Chain A
């Protein structure tokens, strides 16, 4: 089983890259002059991989994700998604799930999921159909007519995931999507996310503060340093899939977690 996973990982690496970051640096204008936020980021994410980015607060993880989403332009360097540069948001290539539920409170769950399709003036029938399919995928069948405030935190993030996936983009970016959830819900959601991921074969770039979450979810954990953010280490997580909660208690899991923690703790 373990070997199988390793082989899978190797295969995945050989796959054509879904996301390529080349020589990316970012400097923003602060109060006291230029502040380097990201430096020399090179990262290639193979199609279908689950990559988690961890690092201390203010290491520019979120900036990096914004750039991957096309919401912010880097000072220098290039980002390719699906082989083509990302210059502006393109939800058919990159779906984004944000930290806190950024659902629109005046729309029902299903209308929220339809939102990106509505922006593209997709026909009503098609919109509803695809949104319903997404609702099923995230395990919320029957909750479509609820407004966000009628849903729990975990359910809201399910809707956010459905909205991110509704245009079937090859890449899904997630910015600490479960950070606001309680521990139990967070575990459940991590597990659910892996189920959805295995059903949809998306490439996921996931940002988190939780090392346990990182190791539990990832094929590979990218460790970043404090500002300016650099890549300190790339840790291959060779735990077999499907992942189980029991794995968290194993030595392998503990050692991986320890290795990442060591990097972050000693990070300059």
Chain B
């Protein structure tokens, strides 16, 4: 028997988790209050599809605006911090430390400033996702090979050309990695904020149904959030693959041998 490919193995593991999700409560290993069976969860999700759909729409639109903030501000600040040595020395330690601060403690402040509507969720999610984008953009720009810049200058590149044709493309892989992480954190931030204080969104449905011990509906909301996160990750992977085609294009056949050596007699 041959070993299954990692992809097949991954799918098998996922499938068996779903089977376990159904089987464990059904067999009475865990009470349904702790883990409602998969089918039951999906059933209430279907029954309440209008509620969940509306909540998802709210959450997704909050996440979208928050991501715009996280990515836009993060890339901009990261570019400045990574590109300007003086500002980097001054600010990079500050941003690195801020990244380690649990942002959650600021959420009450945000609700005081922006109310308990969508605005506070957006700002919180945006700030939550901002730092990985900022830090990876700064790192991406800072680690650009000095040779790339030197070569471009020797070819007469102006500063805007240096930025547009060398620094930006050279930083894209690191920035995209930051966007993937930052976007995921933005989703977490928004959903978390909804769970804390809110009257709308998917996170709110988790909290609301938990207080009434309605496990299937809690799990239905969790399932929707999981699906949202997975869709985001898959989409980002796709974007990375398309953008970074030059990194993988060579796998088809990496040339290792040089052209055949010229016979010495040819020179004589």
Give A115 Cβ to nearest chain B Cβ, in Å.
Answer: 6
Interchain CB contact (< 8 A) of B150 among A94, A98, A146, A155: A98
Taking CB atoms, residues of chain B closer than 8 Å to A266 are none
Q: Residue of A at shortest CB range from B145?
A: A102
Q: Residue of A at shortest CB range from B257?
A: A152
A71-B150 contact, Cβ under 8 Å, with A89-B156, A90-B156, A188-B261:
yes
What 0/1 pattern do residues 144 to 185 of B give for CB contact below 8 A with A? 010110111111111001000110011010000000000000
Residues B264 and A106 in contact, CB atoms below 8 Å apart: no
What 0/1 pattern do residues 102 to 119 of A give for CB contact below 8 A with B? 101111100000011011
**Is B250 located at the chain interface by the 8 A CB criterion?**
yes
Residues B262 and A188 in contact, CB atoms below 8 Å apart: yes
Interface size class of A (residues with CB under 8 A): 35 or more
Residues A152 and B267 in contact, CB atoms below 8 Å apart: no
**Is B268 located at the chain interface by the 8 A CB criterion?**
yes
Taking CB atoms, residues of chain B closer than 8 Å to A108 are 246
**Is A30 located at the chain interface by the 8 A CB criterion?**
no
A71-B153 contact, Cβ under 8 Å, with A104-B169, A150-B249, A154-B258:
yes
Residues A152 and B246 in contact, CB atoms below 8 Å apart: no
Taking CB atoms, residues of chain B closer than 8 Å to A152 are 255-258
Residues B264 and A102 in contact, CB atoms below 8 Å apart: no
Taking CB atoms, residues of chain B closer than 8 Å to A102 are 145, 147-148, 150-151
Residues B157 and A96 in contact, CB atoms below 8 Å apart: no
In the complex, how many residue pairs between chain A and chain B have their CB atoms under 8 Å apart? 102
Most buried by B among A96, A100, A150: A150
B interface, over-half SS: helix
Number of interface residues, chain B, beta carbon within 8 A = 34
Interchain CB contact (< 8 A) of B170 among A71, A106, A155: A106
Give B150 Cβ to nearest chain A Cβ, in Å.
Answer: 7
Q: Which of A203-211, A239-247, A256-264 contacts B (4 or more CB under 8 A)?
A: A239-247
Give B157 Cβ to nearest chain A Cβ, in Å.
Answer: 5
A interface, over-half SS: loop
A96-B161 contact, Cβ under 8 Å, with A146-B255, A150-B255:
no
**Is A185 located at the chain interface by the 8 A CB criterion?**
yes
Taking CB atoms, residues of chain B closer than 8 Å to A100 are 147
**Is B27 located at the chain interface by the 8 A CB criterion?**
no
Q: In chain A, residues 223-242, which have Cβ atoms closer than 8 Å to a Cβ of chain B?
A: 242
Taking CB atoms, residues of chain A closer than 8 Å to B170 are 104, 106
Q: Residue of B at shortest CB range from A103?
A: B151
Interchain CB contact (< 8 A) of B154 among A91, A99, A187: A91
CA–CA, A102 and B147, complex, Å: 6
**Is A2 located at the chain interface by the 8 A CB criterion?**
no
**Is A59 located at the chain interface by the 8 A CB criterion?**
no
Taking CB atoms, residues of chain A closer than 8 Å to B90 are none
A98-B151 contact, Cβ under 8 Å, with A146-B255, A150-B250, A150-B255:
yes
CA–CA, A104 and B254, complex, Å: 17
Taking CB atoms, residues of chain B closer than 8 Å to A119 are 152, 155-158, 161, 165
**Is A56 located at the chain interface by the 8 A CB criterion?**
no
Residues A139 and B259 in contact, CB atoms below 8 Å apart: yes
Give B251 Cβ to nearest chain A Cβ, in Å.
Answer: 9
Give A110 Cβ to nearest chain B Cβ, in Å.
Answer: 13
Taking CB atoms, residues of chain A closer than 8 Å to B256 are 152
Give A30 Cβ to nearest chain B Cβ, in Å.
Answer: 19
Q: In chain A, residues 178-214, which have Cβ atoms closer than 8 Å to a Cβ of chain B?
A: 184-185, 187-188, 191-192
Residues B267 and A191 in contact, CB atoms below 8 Å apart: yes
Taking CB atoms, residues of chain A closer than 8 Å to B151 are 96, 98, 102
Give B138 Cβ to nearest chain A Cβ, in Å.
Answer: 20
**Is A147 located at the chain interface by the 8 A CB criterion?**
yes
Give B6 Cβ to nearest chain A Cβ, in Å.
Answer: 24
A191-B262 contact, Cβ under 8 Å, with A89-B154, A91-B154, A116-B155:
yes
What residues of chain B have their CB less than 8 Å away from a CB belonging to chain A?
Answer: 145, 147-148, 150-158, 161, 165-166, 169-170, 172, 246-247, 249-250, 253-259, 261-262, 264, 267-268
Q: List 6 A-B contacts (CB under 8 A).
A: A89-B156, A91-B154, A100-B147, A116-B155, A152-B255, A188-B262
The 7 closest A-B pairs by CB, nearest first: A154-B258, A150-B250, A102-B151, A245-B264, A116-B155, A102-B147, A96-B154
- New A-B pairs, 11, CB < 8 Å, besides A116-B155, A119-B161: A102-B147, A104-B170, A115-B152, A115-B155, A119-B156, A119-B165, A149-B254, A152-B257, A155-B259, A191-B262, A242-B268
